[in-house]
């Protein structure tokens, strides 16, 4: 069992001091994963997937099929309700937008997943231009979504949730991840 913080994999760490530490780390990993998508698509232009490209695709598939999905669940379980209860109509509209983003991101991911999984497995039935177009939409929405959360949502939630509530959030998130691994 890993008992120290491993910034390369939040699913294999002890509970951070507060839940926002884990959420922020996931955003950093997601930004790295979307950069990998861009690199991967560029590598495929006119080329079959080499072992490095296949490995890159597998990393992207793993991140968005597990960590990113769990991240959205964590936000909707821990962050959104506290802010929805605030009565702030602007914040409530922002929450609706972010929830819609979660649905669009999942839908966009499900459209990209078959091609990226095929690349990870060394198959070549995908269409690079379709992958490029779909990934551009997914990447842009991901970056915009993260920016909105980090600039609006997280500061408001940090101010609203007590330190004890943030520790409970961190412990619950870590316990769920440990149960998933076990």
In the predicted model, what is the mean pLDDT of residues 17-26?
90
pLDDT tens, residue by residue, 114-141: 999 999 999 989 999 999 999 999 999 9
Asked whether residue 17 is assigned to any structural domain, the reply reads: yes
* CA distance linking residue 76 with residue 168, whole number of Å: 15
Asked whether residue 1 is assigned to any structural domain, the reply reads: no
> What pLDDT, on the 0 to 100 scale, is given for residue 7?
43
With bands split at pLDDT 50, 70 and 90, how would you rate the model's confidence at 9?
A: very low
Domain that holds residue 121: 10-181
In the predicted model, what is the mean pLDDT of residues 102-117?
98
pLDDT tens, residue by residue, 54-75: 999 999 999 999 999 999 999 9
Quote the pTM value. Answer: 0.87
Asked whether residue 131 is assigned to any structural domain, the reply reads: yes
Asked whether residue 5 is assigned to any structural domain, the reply reads: no
> What pLDDT, on the 0 to 100 scale, is given for residue 14?
58
Asked whether residue 2 is assigned to any structural domain, the reply reads: no
Q: By C-alpha distance, which of 91, 71, 1, 57 is closest to 29?
A: 71
Tokens, residue 173: 């998130």
Query: How many structural domains is the chain composed of?
Result: 1
- Looking at every residue in the chain, the average pLDDT score rounds to 90
Q: Is the pLDDT of residue 161 over 50?
A: yes
Q: Estimate the crossing angle of helix 128-148 against helix 19-44, to 10 degrees.
A: 160
Q: How many CB atoms lie within 10 A of CB 100?
A: 11
> What are the residues whose beta carbons fall under 8 Å from the beta carbon of 43, sequence distance 6 or more?
49, 50, 52, 53, 56
Asked whether residue 71 is assigned to any structural domain, the reply reads: yes
CATH number for the domain that contains residue 76: 1.20.120.520
Asked whether residue 121 is assigned to any structural domain, the reply reads: yes
């Amino acid at each position: 069992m890993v008992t120290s913080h491993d910034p390369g994999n939040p699913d294999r760490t002890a509970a951070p001091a507060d839940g926002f530490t884990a959420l922020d780390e996931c955003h950093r990993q997601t930004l790295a994963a979307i950069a990998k998508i861009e690199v991967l698509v560029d590598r495929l232009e006119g080329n079959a997937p080499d072992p490095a490209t296949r490995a890159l695709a597998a990393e992207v598939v793993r991140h968005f099929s597990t960590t990113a999905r769990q991240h959205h669940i964590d936000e909707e379980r821990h962050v959104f309700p506290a802010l929805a209860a605030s009565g702030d109509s602007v914040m409530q509209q922002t929450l609706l937008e972010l929830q819609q983003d979660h649905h669009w991101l999942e839908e966009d991911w499900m459209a990209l997943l078959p091609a990226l999984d095929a690349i990870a497995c060394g198959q070549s039935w995908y269409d690079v231009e379709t992958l490029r177009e779909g990934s551009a939409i997914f990447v842009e929405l991901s970056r915009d979504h993260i920016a909105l959360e980090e600039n609006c949502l997280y500061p408001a939630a940090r101010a609203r949730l007590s330190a004890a509530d943030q520790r409970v959030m961190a412990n619950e998130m870590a316990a769920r991840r440990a149960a998933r691994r076990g």
